[in-house]
Every structure is written in C-alpha cells, then in structure tokens.
C-alpha cells in the first residue's frame, strides 16, 4: 500500500487532481488547495522547516520534494527512512508534461485512475501552450516582483519567467540564476538604471502578498511602466494550474484598449 507525503504545495494539488488523495498521509501547512480535501491530510511543518519526526511516524513509502521549495538537508535526511524520495524541478510550462509522466510512472500501476487523469491534464496543457504560441506577441520588458524590503524578482531560467515568456514578456534583469540557489531570485537595490525602461511591473500575490497599497511604491520604482497585481499561484504553481495560468497570461497580455 502506497503512503504519500507531499512537501510541495502545487504538487499536493496535482496529486489530488490525479486521484491520489486516499493515499496521501502528509502535507505541509502551505499545501492549501483544494481546501476541502487537504483539511483531512496531516501537516508535517512547512516547506523549509519539515518536522522529520512527525513525518517518519507517518511511515511514508513516497515523499515528493522540489529543488526550489525544499532544503537539500531535508531531502538527505528523508532518504535515510523513506523508500522513494521523488525530486521534482519544473523550470518551464512544458516541464509539467515530464512531471505528469514522472508521477504516472510512480503511481499508475497501483492506482490505474492516475493515467487517464494525467493524460487529460497533459492534453489541456498542450492546448494552452498552442494557444499562446499562435500569437506573435510584442516583446515587453517585465519586472515580476515576489518580495518587498528588499525587492526581489525572478531570473530568466525560473518557471515563472518561462511562463511569462510564452506571451512575450521578458523578465528583467536579463540574467539566469542557475539550477539552484538564491541567484534564481535576484534582489534589487531600487536604483538599477534599467528600471526606467520597464514596460510592465507585476506584483505577485505570493510569497509576499502585494496589494493595492503597494501600487504607488512600485510605480515610483519604474515610472514609465504599467503596474498591476497578478495572481502568483496561476503563474508559479505547476500541475493543474499550468494551463489555466497560460490562459490567464494570454488575457493579461492583450493590448490595452
């Protein structure tokens, strides 16, 4: 009998969408969707501060982790008592197809309903990608802010940046952060000369919860930009939100009337 713990909020939602909720025995406190289902799954701490003692007591056969979300030392500790530690690292919307294949290979033999559910999500994603790519989007310089004090944004090799690129939005600064580490989420001083050339400032709803009270401050940072709030879950959560996120970005990227 499989016993699954997910330490990744978006993958918790994905596992439930794949029909695996009855086999889930643990999740983080940040795994909040769908609320009616996760309420019945025990918490084992946060993504960065996992309660390993509590997790081990759940006797999981599989624990799912993520390169960006979880600490390497946590993963190393898990490998001492978990038979299967599944490491995920989607870095762009198409990587959801690989993720779905990965989870299908792990669980479909024991839970056959996983396979058709994964195929449906894969097809939905392919259609959303095709819809993005049939438009010749004008290139826009975008500052996507995920934190305040200090300002923090995303490197171009992150999942968020590659989602935005599907509608022609190029994130700034124009740097890659590498496969792991803090460089994937650069800090800004606020006096970078290129800030005056930004076309769009997007204030994410997570991990920092930007709101209307931050719009003027962001406008001062980038005086000529259009400043908007954006649903961070739709842009950064992979799994079942990926296709919806691409549709959402297509709507946002339509030229202003």
159-183, pLDDT tens digit by residue? 999 999 999 999 999 999 999 888 9
Residue 241: the pLDDT is 95
Domain 4-131 and domain 140-253 have a common topology: yes
Long-range Cβ pairs for the range 171-180 (8 Å, 24+) = 171/142, 171/143, 171/144, 172/141, 172/142, 172/143, 172/198, 179/67, 179/89, 180/67, 180/68
| Residue 236, φ and ψ in degrees, nearest 5 | -110, -15
Q: How many CB atoms lie within 10 A of CB 146?
A: 22
Where are the domains positioned within the chain? 4-131, 140-253
For residues 183 and 59, what is the distance between their CA atoms, to the nearest angstrom? 35
Residue 256: the pLDDT is 63
4-131: CATH topology: Rossmann fold (3.40.50)
pTM equals 0.94
3 DSSP assignment: -
Residue 126: the pLDDT is 98
Residue 51: the pLDDT is 98
16 DSSP assignment: H
For residues 149 and 76, what is the distance between their CA atoms, to the nearest angstrom? 32
For residues 205 and 210, what is the distance between their CA atoms, to the nearest angstrom? 5
Closest Cα partner for 180 from 25, 71, 56? 71
User: In the CATH scheme, what architecture does the domain 140-253 have?
Assistant: 3-Layer(aba) Sandwich (3.40)
Residue 255: the pLDDT is 77
Residue with tokens 């918490």: 43
Where the chain has pLDDT below 50, the residues are 257
Residue 221: the pLDDT is 97
For residues 27 and 41, what is the distance between their CA atoms, to the nearest angstrom? 7
Q: Among residues of the chain, what percentage have pLDDT more than 70?
A: 99
Which residues 6+ apart lie within 8 Å of 76 measured at CB?
none
Per DSSP, the three-state class of 214 is helix
For residues 26 and 60, what is the distance between their CA atoms, to the nearest angstrom? 8
């Amino acid at each position: 009998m499989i016993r699954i713990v997910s330490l990744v909020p978006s993958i918790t939602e994905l596992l439930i969408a794949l029909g695996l909720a009855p086999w889930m025995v643990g999740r983080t406190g940040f795994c909040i969707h769908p609320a009616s289902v996760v309420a019945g799954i025990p918490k084992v701490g946060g993504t960065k501060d996992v309660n390993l003692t509590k997790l081990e007591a759940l006797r999981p056969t599989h624990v799912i982790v993520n390169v960006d979300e979880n600490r390497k030392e946590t993963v190393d500790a898990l490998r001492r008592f978990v038979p299967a530690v599944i490491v995920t690292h989607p870095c762009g919307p198409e990587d959801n197809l690989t993720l779905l294949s990965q989870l299908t290979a792990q669980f479909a033999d024991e839970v056959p309903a996983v396979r058709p559910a994964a195929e449906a999500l894969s097809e939905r994603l392919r259609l959303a990608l095709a819809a993005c790519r049939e438009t010749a989007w004008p290139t826009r310089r975008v500052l996507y802010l995920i934190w305040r004090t200090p300002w923090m944004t995303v490197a171009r090799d992150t999942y968020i940046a590659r989602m935005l690129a599907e509608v022609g939005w190029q994130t700034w600064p124009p740097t890659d952060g590498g496969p792991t580490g803090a460089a994937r989420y650069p800090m800004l001083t606020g006096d970078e000369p290129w800030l005056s050339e930004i076309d769009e400032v997007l204030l994410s709803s997570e991990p920092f919860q930007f709101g209307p009270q931050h719009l003027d401050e962001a406008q001062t940072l980038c005086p000529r930009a259009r400043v908007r709030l954006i649903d961070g879950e739709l842009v950064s959560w992979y799994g079942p939100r990926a296709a919806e996120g691409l549709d959402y970005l297509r709507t946002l990227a339509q030229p202003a009337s």
